[in-house]
Structure 1
Amino acid sequence: MSEVDDELRCDRLTRFWTRWGLVVGAAILIGLAAFGGYLYWQHRQHQAAGVDGEQLQSAYDALAQNDTKTADAKLKTLAGSNVDAYRALAEFTQADILLQRDDLKGAAARFAAIAGDNSLAQPFRDLALVRQTMAEYDTMKPQAVVARLGTLAVPGNAWFGSAGEMVAVAYLRMNKRAEAGRLFGQIASDKDVPDTLRQRAVQMAGVLGVDAVGQSEDTKTQ
């Protein structure tokens, strides 16, 4: 009986491999090829990131030497990088160069493109929106500033200081002194906000009759 069972198993295996051997083999080869391709892709990505890092540093070195022509050429190439972080940094630098040239419209357009790039991480996009608003601030209606930056001008947001200050000034332009004073007070009491910005907020809060120290206590209890 044991010999019969062995013969049956052998016969079944023979028929299985006769019928499906090529399919199984092909599937294994495809899987190995895909895995090998993935490893190669990762290797190429690391190589590309290293090259992009060197290009970005070269662009910064050129800017330090006031060689904007060389920097522009390198940044233009990096702006098409497949590595999101390097692409974003290149585009931010391009926009900053335009700001230095007093090309506010061109810089705002560049920042707007970064803010609208869904492939980038949200902090990059939020920063670009803040910088875009800075470039356009003098030509914007205060209502538009509040509408654009309202969700960023809240305690705890990474860009609360810069966004909050612009929104607070927009409130003043709208003659909403209470809202402006409260926002300046929140900025003044936020230890994560840069010192220079906090100092301005303390001064503005005081002018508007808001106790920045008292506001700090209110913020802690919220």
Structure 2
Amino acid sequence: MALPPDKNPPSRDKHAAQLAAQQDVFLREVDDALRQDQVEGFMKNYGKPVLAVVAAGLVALGGWLYWDHLQTKRLEENSEAFVQALDSLQGNNLNDAKSKLTPLAAKGSNANATSARLLLAAIGLEQDRKADALKLYRQVASDEKAPQPLRDLALVRAVTADFDAMKPQEVIDRLKPLSAPGNPWFGVAGEMVGMAYLKLGRADQAGPLFAAIAKDEGINDGLRSRARQLAAVLGVDAVSDVVDDKGEAIDKPKLGGATEAGGQ
């Protein structure tokens, strides 16, 4: 009995497999060509802007790193120059200190530059160059970018150096914000304001101010002693009450004791 003929002879299956493989290779080649064409199209249309952005970013990063390096280097150099200037001052070599501080004073409003100006002003006073010193003090006091504590210091130093030449009311106007209790400059500024009050004949305002200075334990003893004497001359009690552990004045008679004494 003869077998039925094979509907899928081996030659046809092999041919079909070859066709499928060829189609797969063709599709991959088309896909690769399409991807390459897309990349080339993207680079053609957007390549230059993208490269420009990347290049700009790299330049900016490099610039920032270089700037940071220069800032660090300058800070170290300025600090070293400031220390050398202080050494010269300690050795009473004022001219050498001045030569080191002058370049620092010209470098803006940071703490180093402002401190350099203050030291140059102090050197000016020491060398009898009052006008130069006052110019530097006033420059620092009016510099809104300078640290506030240094601005206050410059203001106090300027008024101290020029007190005798200033009008009393001008002294009061300039120092009144600093002559309030609790302010770090209360003692020094308050004393000058009190003296200005005396020049204006306003003892009623000078006395209480001197008494407040004398009672402030945060102020140095020498200044408190002067204020206490001035307050006493003006008839104002500047001696703080001595109190016991209950906060009562020791020299103040207690109510119970007074009653008992009255009863006796």
Distance of 1:83 and 1:119 partners within structure 2: 6
CA positional deviation for 1:71: 1.8
Q: Partner of 2:198 in structure 1?
A: 172
Tell me the distance in 2 between the aligned counterparts of 1:21 and 1:124.
Answer: 55
Of residues 70, 73, 91, the one that matches 2:99 is 73
Residue identity opposite 1:171 in structure 2:
Y
Alignment deviations for residues 142-161 of structure 1 (CA, whole Å, 9 cap, x no partner)? 01101111111112222222
TM-score for the superposition, normalised by structure 1: 0.80
Q: Quickly say closer, same or farther: Cα 1:177–1:26, change in 2 above 3 A.
A: same
Whether the aligned pair in 1 keeps the contact of 2:228 and 2:239 (CA below 8 Å) is no
CA separation in 2, counterparts of 1:177 and 1:25?
78
Aligned CA distance change for structure 1 residues 101 and 20 (closer, same or farther; 3 Å): same
Among 163, 171, 187, the alignment partner of 2:213 is 187
Q: Would the alpha carbon gap of residues 78 and 172 (structure 1) be closer, same or farther in structure 2, given more than 3 Å must change?
A: same
Distance 1:63 1:214 in 2: 41
Are 2:138 and 1:112 equivalent residues in the alignment?
yes
Q: What corresponds to 1:161 in structure 2?
A: 187
CA deviation after TM superposition for structure 1 residue 85, in Å: 1.4
1:204 equivalenced with 2:204 (yes/no) = no
In the aligned structure 2, how far is the partner of 1:208 from the partner of 1:35?
A: 69
Q: Give 1:60 shift.
A: 2.2
Instruction: Evaluate the alpha carbon distance shift between residue 15 and residue 199 of structure 1 in structure 2; reply closer, same or farther with a 3 A threshold.
Output: farther
Could you say if the C-alpha distance between residues 91 and 22 of structure 1 is closer, same or farther in structure 2, counting changes exceeding 3 Å?
same
Query: Are residues 214 and 54 of structure 1, via their aligned partners in 2, closer, same or farther at CA, if it must alter by over 3 Å?
Result: same
State the AA in 2 paired with 1:94.
L
| % same residue | 43
Size of the alignment, in residue pairs?
Answer: 210
The answer to whether residue 177 in structure 2 is matched with residue 151 in structure 1 is: yes
Large movers: runs of 4+ above 4 Å: 10-18
CA distance in 2, matches of 1:156, 1:22: 65
Q: Give the structure-2-normalised TM-score.
A: 0.69
What's the CA shift for 1:195? 2.8
Aligned amino acid, residue 194 of structure 1: N
Partner Cα distance (2:73, 2:208) in 1: 50
1:210–1:53 Cα change, 3 Å: same
Larger Rg: 2
CA distance in 1, matches of 2:54, 2:215: 62
Whole-Å Cα distance in 1 between the matches of residues 51 and 233 of structure 2? 79
Structure 2 SS opposite 1:154: coil
Contact 1:105/1:136, CA 8 A, preserved across alignment:
no
Matched, 1:123 2:132: no
Deviation at 1:17, TM superposition (A): 5.9
Change (3 A) 1:82 1:103: closer
Report the aligned-residue RMSD: 2.8
More helix by share: 1
CA distance in 1, matches of 2:166, 2:179: 17
Q: Which runs of 5+ in 1 are unaligned?
A: 1-5, 216-222
